[in-house]
Amino acid sequence: MNTLKRIGFALLAPVIAVLIAMLATSIVILASGSDSSAGDFWSVILAKPENRIMVNIINQTSMIYLSAVAAAIGFRMGLFNIGVEGQYTLASYTAATFAGAALLPGAINVFASLVIAMAVGAIWAGIAGILRTTRGVSEVISTIMLNSIAAILVGYLLDQYGEHGGNQVRTKALHASSQVPGWVPFEDRDGAIWTLGLLAVAVGIGFWVLLNKTRFGFDLRATGLSQTAAVASGIKVNRMVLVSMLLSGAVAGLIWMPAYFGSAYTYGTTFQAGLGFTGIAVALLGRNQPVGMIFGAVLFAFLSAQSNSLVFQTDISPSVVQITQGVAVLAVVIAYELVRRYRIRLEQRSVARARTAPAQEVAA
Amino acid sequence: MSAAAADSVSADAVHAPEVRLSGIGKSFPGVIANHDVDVTIRPATVHALIGENGAGKSTLMKILYGVQKPDEGTIEVDGTQHSFRSPTDAIAVGIGMVFQHFMLADNLTALENAVLGAERLHGIGDKARAEFESISSRYGFGLRPDVLVETLGVADRQRLEILKVLYRGAQVIILDEPTAVLVPQEVDALFANLRDLRSHGHSVLFISHKLDEVLAIADDITVMRRGTTVGEADPKTATKRELAELMVGSELPSPETSESTVTDVVQLSLRDLTLTDEAGRDLLSDITLDIHRGEILGIAGVEGNGQAELVETVMGMRRPTAGRIFLGDEDVTTWDTRRLRESGVGYIPEDRHRHGLLLDSPLWENRILGHQTRPPSVKGPWINRSGARKDTRRIVEEYDVRTPGIDTVARALSGGNQQKLIIGREMSGDPVLLIASHPTRGVDVGAQAAIWSHIKRARHDGLAVLLISADLDELIGLSDRIEVILRGRMVGTFDPARVTPQDLGAAMTGGNA
């Protein structure tokens, strides 16, 4: 199978899924009997983003992508870390508290906070990993429960130790010397693209290298593809479970860091919740592939950001795009399976042809 | 137990239909599981279907029970042609099946298990209970309706499974290797139950590869080999030898080894190896054996007598409860699988799909599997893609793996070609010991001959081989020495030059031929 065909197959499923999602959304808008038509909806969504929204899309993409990678590390070895949400919530709070305390100066403070965020995320995920390897507790159950625990814990700690102002609570604000705002591509009022969004680029490259170029990545993929074959090949599955949970949690810890150091400067109402679940959806959409998830993250960020304009230009609720996102994920899972089966049939046919040919030609 | 049944024969008699399978064929990608299969099950008989593993028995049963659809051929029940789309259709005409692995809910009672999914027949109340008790007493099952299934032993569970299909009105009952899980006394009790069923007019299709049992219980015998029915035998006149010959066939290439290459150097040594499961039962007891360089040691035994556990223990996938394992001079008892593999232990697993391959990965990635820490697949912590690809090309060429290329996924290859790839891989990196578990199971005759010659050549070069096989001809032909395993113990050593399959068969079953 040549490269072109390979790429074609890889794109086939997501393209089908997105088309189905667009169709389903249009049907919902039609059925809802709103004054605006599906055409209005798509003309708003597919319009060229305003500068402000463009910046927003890029910033959101970086955080969604980090979240998707965190989920994908687990998914690639058949480990369902549904707890990205809890891991980054707790990590964000802890890192924000540490950074706000300004124990270290300037850039060192930023660096140390990132390490702390990763460590907290890893520890929180590691709890599920240890429960799984020592007690056989399904990581799906434990991570979901840890999500709730993290939310309650952060709420309590923030209330106890945060700064109360009006009816809001937040962590101590970040000192100006540790702020990492970013690059302003348009006007100042359109906002800045956060520098730490580059973390997503680094993590993406790291994930790709890890998966495809390292022994560890091979072991990880092998365990995901067939645990029994992995054991027979000498992989210690329990160790892999623990290490990938820690890695997954560490990446999860970074999710909100670009926003914190870029514009939020404090953990409070500014915290953006829900990215952990978005990441899971994007990981599914991108087939847990480093490159595929970029497209998934851009798509989700684009739809969410553009949907804000719906309020001004139509009477369609912005939450309609969640239907588009949801259907896209569902459709892509089905479409991938269909494409996979079709590919196997094609390969089997080409194998059958090869069997009749002499082996030498085949080897050459 | 059988005496109790005689009195009620006339009252409860059922009239099982005649079931005729003709010209059944079924292929899966890369494998022909069944072709030209003809079987007729006469009413009120026990019909045995025998054949080696991989002969296509299970596929045939799944077709008869509606789990799989045949590609060709017909199923006739009392002269009417049927095409089953699901087990429901099969049950509707009175065909029921008990699978080898029981399908019971442990946390429900026996009665609840019987009723589950068949609530429409007799409700879930007193009528259901009455029906349950009536079946249980009619066939002497002795099952109490309110006992929790988790407290039942294997034999009772099996009876409950049979009761379940009777409850659903089955007249023809398919039993897939029912004796594989039973001890001899339980087998006798099962046979008494089967005779009761027969005397009440039921037919039983009994799948097995244990010849003694088949001769003891069957009225008719059909033999399958390599996916097709190759003959029928009358249990009154047939001998085990005749059946074995039919099962194995005479067309097989002979695996005969040439002159001995056995050296004095011990490569693998097991000392009093014992493995105990969680329940405290011994899976392996005091196994002591040596394999020398250049020697093939064959392990003969009825499947499920500890072969798989032995392999997994030697491979470091299970930790022995007692005893020691030595590889050369080193005590490797506590080594893990990867360390063993790194020190030159090759492994051809019994189930290549589950343990030997990443089916959805390309061949060159499969080349790395099990060799993740050794060149040419890796360089330090990095995967050496070009090295692995180059070496995969070498294996494809040297081992005649028929594939369009090394980027093809393993799943697309036929069983024989998958196995040749595995053998090529496990022979890479100068192994000192090869653990070969059923190396030619489910592969075609051509690949079988090739695999045998690869193993023989490696033996000539000084490789020590632990060979486990259900194919006695393969064992006798390849091995320098044969040990027989029975219930986790080594019960006899044979010289393959002098032993006959009959002698082995007798030792394997712990009785006389």
| Pick from A211-215, A225-229, B103-107, B326-330: least confident | B103-107
Span B142-164, average pLDDT = 88
Residues of A in contact with B370 (CB under 8 A): 232-234
Hey, are the CB atoms on A215 and B407 less than 8 Å from each other?
no
- Distance CA(B442)–CA(B459), nearest Å, equals 23
- Candidates A226, A287, A341, A353: best to mutate against B (most CBs of B within 10 A) is A226
- Distance CA(B16)–CA(B124), nearest Å, equals 27
Span B254-272, average pLDDT = 80
Amino acid at A9: F
Q: Residue A184 pLDDT more than 50?
A: yes
**Those residues with Cβ within 8 angstroms of residue A64's Cβ, 6 or more apart along the chain or in another chain:** A275, A278, A279, A282, A296, A297, A300, A301
- Candidates B278, B372, B389, B406: best to mutate against A (most CBs of A within 10 A) is B372
Give me chain B's average pLDDT, please: 85
- CATH number of the A55-308 domain: 1.10.3470
What three-state secondary structure class fits B281? coil
For A362, the closest of B30, B403, B409 (CB atoms) is: B403
Residues of A in contact with B396 (CB under 8 A): 359, 362-363
Q: How confident is the model at residue A363 (pLDDT cuts 50, 70, 90)?
A: very low
Hey, are the CB atoms on A351 and B400 less than 8 Å from each other?
no
Judged on CB neighbours under 10 Å (0-12, 13-18, 19+), A49 is middle
Chain region(s) in chain B for CATH 3.40.50.300: 3-248, 259-344+432-513
Please give the helix or strand (H or E) that residue B138 lies within, else none.
Answer: helix B126-138
Paired residues of B48 in beta bridges? B206, B221
**pLDDT for the residue numbered A317:** 85
Paired residues of B434 in beta bridges? B346, B465
- Distance CA(A64)–CA(A281), nearest Å, equals 10
- Distance CA(B270)–CA(B132), nearest Å, equals 51
Residues of B in contact with A216 (CB under 8 A): 381
Q: Residue B31 pLDDT more than 70?
A: no
| Residue of higher predicted confidence among A86 and A364 | A86
For A233, the closest of B370, B393, B396 (CB atoms) is: B370
Residues of A in contact with B335 (CB under 8 A): none
Hey, are the CB atoms on B354 and A351 less than 8 Å from each other?
no
| Residue of higher predicted confidence among B391 and B263 | B391
Q: How confident is the model at residue A34 (pLDDT cuts 50, 70, 90)?
A: confident
* φ, ψ at B181 (rounded to 5°): -100, 0
What's the pLDDT tens digit per position in B79-89? 889 888 888 89
| Pick from B62-76, B255-269, B322-336: least confident | B255-269
**pLDDT for the residue numbered B237:** 87
Span B142-156, average pLDDT = 86
For B360, the closest of A219, A225, A355 (CB atoms) is: A225
Strands B433-437 and B464-468, by their bridges, are: parallel
Buried b (16+ CB within 10 A) or exposed e, B102-138: bebeeeebbbbbbbeebeeebeeeeebbebbeebbeb
Hey, are the CB atoms on A359 and B29 less than 8 Å from each other?
no
Hey, are the CB atoms on B369 and A219 less than 8 Å from each other?
no
CA distance B115 to chain A (A): 31
**pLDDT for the residue numbered B51:** 79
DSSP state of B116: T
| Pick from A44-58, A84-98, A141-155: least confident | A44-58
Number of residues that this document lists for chain A: 364
The structure tokens 């080193």 sit at B330
Tokens of A55: 């910046």
* φ, ψ at A38 (rounded to 5°): -60, -30
Q: How many CB pairs under 8 A join A and B?
A: 119
Residues of A in contact with B368 (CB under 8 A): 218
Tokens of A314: 């139509």
Span A135-154, average pLDDT = 95
**pLDDT for the residue numbered B293:** 93
B3-248: CATH architecture:
3-Layer(aba) Sandwich (3.40)
Q: Residue B45 pLDDT more than 80?
A: yes
What's the pLDDT tens digit per position in B376-418? 888 889 999 999 999 999 999 998 888 888 988 898 887 788 9
Hey, are the CB atoms on A218 and B383 less than 8 Å from each other?
yes
Residue of B nearest to A226 (CA): B358
Tokens of B93: 């005409």
What's the pLDDT tens digit per position in B185-229? 778 888 998 998 999 999 999 988 777 788 889 999 998 887 888
CA distance B57 to chain A (A): 25
Hey, are the CB atoms on A232 and B370 less than 8 Å from each other?
yes
Span A159-170, average pLDDT = 87
Residues of A in contact with B447 (CB under 8 A): none
Nearest to B132 by CA among B475, B327, B123: B123
For A363, the closest of B351, B393, B411 (CB atoms) is: B393
**pLDDT for the residue numbered A99:** 94
Hey, are the CB atoms on B354 and A228 less than 8 Å from each other?
yes
Amino acid at B414: S
Residues of B in contact with A359 (CB under 8 A): 396-397, 400-402
Nearest to A299 by CA among A17, A26, A96, A86: A17
* Domain regions of chain A by residue span: 1-47+318-364, 55-308
Residues of A in contact with B382 (CB under 8 A): 213-215
Most confident of A4-13, B208-217, B422-431: B422-431
What's the pLDDT tens digit per position in B362-379? 999 999 999 988 888 888
What's the pLDDT tens digit per position in B268-280? 999 999 998 877 7
Q: pLDDT over 90 for what percent of chain B?
A: 39
What's the pLDDT tens digit per position in A55-98? 999 999 999 999 999 999 999 988 999 999 999 999 999 999 99
CA distance A363 to chain B (A): 6
**pLDDT for the residue numbered B256:** 61
Span A203-214, average pLDDT = 95
Residues of A in contact with B341 (CB under 8 A): 233-234
CA distance B391 to chain A (A): 11
Q: Residue A214 pLDDT more than 90?
A: yes
- Distance CA(B309)–CA(B273), nearest Å, equals 11
Whether this model's ipTM surpasses 0.85 comes out as: no
Q: How confident is the model at residue B34 (pLDDT cuts 50, 70, 90)?
A: confident
Span B115-133, average pLDDT = 88
Tokens of B391: 């070496």
What three-state secondary structure class fits B11? helix
The structure tokens 């060192």 sit at A108
Span B239-264, average pLDDT = 68
First-residue to last-residue Cα distance in chain A:
15
Hey, are the CB atoms on A226 and B403 less than 8 Å from each other?
no
Long-range contacts of A302-309 (CB under 8 A, 24+ apart): A302/A49, A302/A57, A303/A45, A304/A60, A305/A49, A305/A53, A305/A56, A305/A57, A305/A60, A306/A44, A306/A45, A306/A46, A306/A47, A306/A49, A306/A53, A307/A45, A308/A53, A309/A44, A309/A47, A309/A50, A309/A53
Q: How many CB atoms lie within 10 A of CB A337?
A: 11
Hey, are the CB atoms on A225 and B409 less than 8 Å from each other?
no
CATH fold of B259-344+432-513 reads Rossmann fold (3.40.50)
- Distance CA(A99)–CA(A113), nearest Å, equals 6
Interaxial angle between packed helices A84-101 and A51-75, expressed in degrees from 0 to 180 and rounded to the nearest 10: 120
Q: Residue B253 pLDDT more than 60?
A: no
Hey, are the CB atoms on A218 and B365 less than 8 Å from each other?
yes
DSSP state of B219: S
| Pick from A155-159, B172-176, B299-303: least confident | B299-303
CA distance B400 to chain A (A): 6
- CB A196 within 8 Å of CB A217: no
Hey, are the CB atoms on B402 and A362 less than 8 Å from each other?
yes
Hey, are the CB atoms on B356 and A229 less than 8 Å from each other?
yes
**pLDDT for the residue numbered A354:** 56
For A225, the closest of B358, B383, B412 (CB atoms) is: B358
Helices (H), chain A: 3-31, 38-45, 51-75, 84-101, 106-135, 139-161, 198-213, 215-225, 227-232, 237-254, 257-259, 275-285, 290-307, 310-313, 320-356, 359-363
Span B177-182, average pLDDT = 76
Residue of B nearest to A361 (CA): B404
**Those residues with Cβ within 8 angstroms of residue A30's Cβ, 6 or more apart along the chain or in another chain:** A37, A38
Residues of A in contact with B340 (CB under 8 A): 234
| Pick from A74-83, A268-277, B160-169, B504-513: least confident | B504-513
Sequence-ordered strand ranges (E) for B68-198: 72-77, 80-82, 95-98, 172-176
Radius of gyration for chain A, computed over Cα atoms and rounded to the nearest angstrom: 23
Q: pLDDT over 70 for what percent of chain A?
A: 96
List residues of A whose CB lies inside 8 A of any B CB.
Answer: 1, 212-219, 221-222, 225-226, 228-229, 231-236, 344, 347-348, 350-351, 353-355, 359-360, 362-363
**pLDDT for the residue numbered B233:** 86
**pLDDT for the residue numbered B473:** 77
Q: pLDDT over 90 for what percent of chain A?
A: 59
